[in-house]
Amino acid sequence: MEVTDFSSDGGHSVVTMTDLVEGLSALGLKRGDKLLVHSSLSAFGNVDGGEHTVIDALLRSVGNEGLVAVPTHTWGTVGGRQPVFHVDLSPSIVGRITETFRRRPGAVRSLHPTHSVAVMGDGAEAFVKGHERWSTPCAMESPYGRLVQQHGYVLMLGVTLESCTLIHGFEEWACVPWLFDRTERLYTVTEDGRVLTVMSRRHTSDPNCDRDFEALEPLLQSRGIMRVGRIGNATIRLLDAHKMADLLVGLLRDRPDLVLAQRSEPVPQE
């Protein structure tokens, strides 16, 4: 995998705001872009200002006319045994950056009980609206589908494609037969205290359906869908959501096991 190091000193010292903004720009990020960001703060090494600097760099990179979304998932803490999701109080289980982001003034969190996202930027309210109305986590009408429809990007900061929730959306949209194994009655408590009932179809936990999203990387790079760089110690991946959907949903319809570790044949390389 070809990786370009965008750090000012080759990634051997403290990562600064300038390193982040310049590195994201060199990767192709620009003002007005819409992003879904998966992240690991520790992957960078030492960041001056910690997660706050990363969040500020993301917002500065897309500007006031752009939009930044992060997953604030609770699928590991909300389920059949503990079915209540509180939009204000339920912490994100997918990293320090996401939890700090959702607590920021101006952040708007969707109401889906297991796969919520928090958003800041232009059109944030519309981006998350109605996520709780769908029984699946990543419906086409959810924020994940809107990212594709609005020609946004998935940005992976120090994490691999194994963390890419949008690919689960492609599984849903392609109607792969093995995806869901149960339905649970869950509840969302809104900011104003209303309690919403959400019948949620849960993604399978069958070990025979373990995913291997990383095997898709050569294909996505060869098609120009994914660009890769490095900031500090972190590998950064920027993926065109619309182009990725066009490619992978069709492939999944023809080959439902494409993303599984136990696939019938290798992933195409180009």
Digit-coded pLDDT (tens) for 4-22: 676 656 555 899 999 999 9
Total domains present in the chain: 1
d(CA 131, CA 193): 18
In a domain, 92, yes or no: yes
In a domain, 262, yes or no: no
Whether 265 is in a domain gets the answer no
Instruction: Check: CB of residue 72 under 8 Å from CB of residue 137.
Output: no
Residue 268 lies in a domain: no
Q: How confident is the model at residue 270 (pLDDT cuts 50, 70, 90)?
A: confident
Each residue of 184-225: pLDDT tens digit? 999 999 999 999 999 999 999 899 999 999 999 999 999 999
The beta strand positions in the chain, using DSSP E, are: 4-5, 34-39, 67-71, 84-86, 108-109, 117-121, 153-157, 180-189, 195-203, 226-231, 234-240
Cβ 114 vs Cβ 208: under 8 Å = no
Would residue 267 count as lying in a domain?
Answer: no
| Residue 260 lies inside a defined structural domain of this protein | no
Which has the minimum average pLDDT: 1-10, 202-211, 223-232, 259-268? Answer: 1-10
Q: Render the burial of 54-88: b for 16+ CB within 10 Å, e for the rest.
A: bbebbbebbeeebbbbbbbbbbeebbeeebebbbe
Residues 51, 44, 33: CA angle, nearest 5 degrees: 65
For 95-115, the pLDDT digits (tens) are 999 999 999 999 999 999 999
259, part of any domain = no
**Measured between alpha carbons, how far is 232 from 49 in angstroms, rounded to an integer?**
14
Burial of 150 (0-12, 13-18, 19+ CB in 10 A): middle
CA angle 52, 158, 57 (to 5 degrees): 30
| 2 has a pLDDT exceeding 60 | no
Q: How far apart are CA 141 and CA 215, in angstroms?
A: 27
The answer as to whether 270 is a domain residue is no
Q: What pTM, to 2 d.p., does this model score? A: 0.95
Q: Is 142 within 8 Å of 169 (Cβ atoms)?
A: yes
- Domain of residue 128, residue span: 4-254
Q: What is the pLDDT of residue 13?
A: 86
